[in-house]
């Protein structure tokens, strides 16, 4: 028996359709999901799991007071004595 794949979703404003975190648009069916989880083997979608994990990662660097743009080119030294 193949396991059912359960997706993480974001419910849309009409409350009958949803978008999975892996990008599929589908009709929501909470009763079918409950039945799948109770009646047989199931797994969560690995792409939805990855999207959920990536949503928690922040890539922003903290602002430093002496660098308003967040990064400054270091001063290049050593060329002043070259011919």
pLDDT per residue, tens digit, the chain (83 aa), is 688 888 888 877 777 788 889 988 888 777 887 887 788 788 889 999 999 888 877 666 555 555 555 666 667 666 566 55
pLDDT at 62 (0 to 100): 56
Q: Which domain holds residue 19?
A: 4-56
The verdict on residue 30 lying in a domain is yes
Is the overall model pTM greater than 0.75, yes or no? Answer: no
Is 74 contained in some domain? no
Please check whether residue 71 lies inside any domain of the structure.
no
Beta strands in 8-69 (DSSP E): 9-11, 17-20, 25-27, 42-44
pLDDT at 35: 83
At 18, phi and psi to the nearest 5?
-145, 165
pLDDT at 37: 79
Pair 20, 27: CB distance under 8 Å: no
Domain total in the chain: 1
Residue 65, domain member (yes or no): no
What's residue 47's pLDDT?
Answer: 93
Residue 46, in any domain of the structure:
yes
């Amino acid at each position: 028996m193949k396991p059912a794949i359960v997706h993480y979703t974001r419910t849309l404003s009409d409350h009958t359709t949803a978008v999975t975190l892996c990008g599929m648009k589908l009709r929501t069916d909470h009763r079918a999901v409950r039945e799948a989880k109770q009646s047989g083997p199931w797994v969560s979608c690995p792409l939805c799991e990855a999207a959920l994990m990536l949503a928690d990662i922040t890539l922003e660097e903290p602002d430093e007071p002496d660098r308003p743009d967040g990064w400054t080119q270091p001063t290049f030294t050593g060329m002043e004595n070259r011919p």
